[in-house]
Structure 1
Amino acid sequence: MATTTRVMKATPEQVWDVLADGWLYPLWVVGASRMREVDTDWPELGSQLHHSVGAWPLLVDDNTQVVEVVPGRSMTLHARARPSGVAAVKITLEPTGEHTRVVIEEDAISGPARLVPRPVREPGLKWRNTESLRRLAYLAERRSARDD
């Protein structure tokens, strides 16, 4: 499982606010290009984001579902990204003073990506999640600056 970490200059509540707004998903998740729909109960257990991946005109409609959640603390998602398969993604928020340590753990759980040896697939996941955390930090820290 690829693990990526970043300390953000925002409170866990400010980071969670970004995660809890499903419409922001394509702003911080590398590869997600647009939102089609967000379940009204997002991010409750079983709720889904309906998004597209890729670049126009080669877009594929997919979804991401919450499979575990501790509000304000962590969520585990099953993210579909056809044709590569489904990934399990766990996002954990850990308070560190006035900041938040955000950890993303991700790995393929089904589909063709699962056939790629772990040492080959992990560097790509690490790179993608490093950029995703950078984008998430921009959004959460902006909220932090507004709250000051």
Structure 2
Amino acid sequence: MATNTRDLACTTEDVFRVLGNGWLYPAWVVGASRMRDVDADWPAVGAQLHHSFGVWPALLDDTTEVLAWDPPRRVVLRARGWPMGEAEVTLRARTIPSGCQVRIDEEPVKGPAVLIPRLLTTPMLRWRNAETLHRLAYLAEGQAS
């Protein structure tokens, strides 16, 4: 499992305001290119984001589903990115003296990506998710001001 942590100068509520707006997904998730639709009940458990990933003209359409939603502490997502597969992504936020700390855990759970040794996937996921948290910080801290 790949784990990243980042301290943000905002509240956990600010972070979950960003996470609760499905249309912002490609603004903070590295690899997501555009939104096609957001289920009306997002971010309820079972709701889906309909997004594309990749770069034009090689865009692939897929979905991300909410498995657990416990604001302002935790969200668990099932991110689909076929043909690579699916990953379970957990974001946790906790209050710290300077604002909040966000942790992201990502684990491939289905498809060809589960066959790749963790020795190879973990560094790549950590690199990508460091930028994901960097983007999430811009959005959450911007909403806080």
The two structures have a TM-score, normalised by structure 2, of 0.98
Decide whether the 8 Å contact of 1:49 with 1:63 is kept in 2. yes
Name the counterpart of 2:52: 52
Tell me whether 1:76 sits opposite 2:76 in the alignment.
yes
RMSD: 0.8
- CA displacement 1:56-93 (0-9 Å, x = unmatched): 11100000001112122111000001110000000001
Deviation at 1:40, TM superposition (A): 1.2
Matches of 1:73 and 1:44, distance apart in 2: 15
Tell me whether 1:63 sits opposite 2:59 in the alignment.
no
Decide whether the 8 Å contact of 1:11 with 1:98 is kept in 2. no
Matches of 1:28 and 1:105, distance apart in 2: 15
Deviation at 1:97, TM superposition (A): 2.7
Name the counterpart of 1:136: 136
The one-letter amino acid paired with 2:116 is V
- CA displacement 1:117-138 (0-9 Å, x = unmatched): 0111000000000000000000
The one-letter amino acid paired with 1:20 is G
Decide whether the 8 Å contact of 2:10 with 2:141 is kept in 1. yes
Matches of 2:69 and 2:104, distance apart in 1: 14
Decide whether the 8 Å contact of 2:14 with 2:144 is kept in 1. yes
What pairs up with 1:1-148 in 2 under 5 angstroms?
Answer: 1-145=1-145
Aligned identity (percent) is 52
> Which 4+ residue blocks in structure 1 deviate beyond 4 angstroms?
none
Unaligned runs of 5+ in 1: none
Deviation at 1:98, TM superposition (A): 4.9
Decide whether the 8 Å contact of 1:26 with 1:32 is kept in 2. yes
- CA displacement 1:6-60 (0-9 Å, x = unmatched): 0100101111100000000000100000000011111111111000000011100
Matches of 1:42 and 1:10, distance apart in 2: 23
Question: 2:42 aligns to what SS in structure 1?
Answer: coil
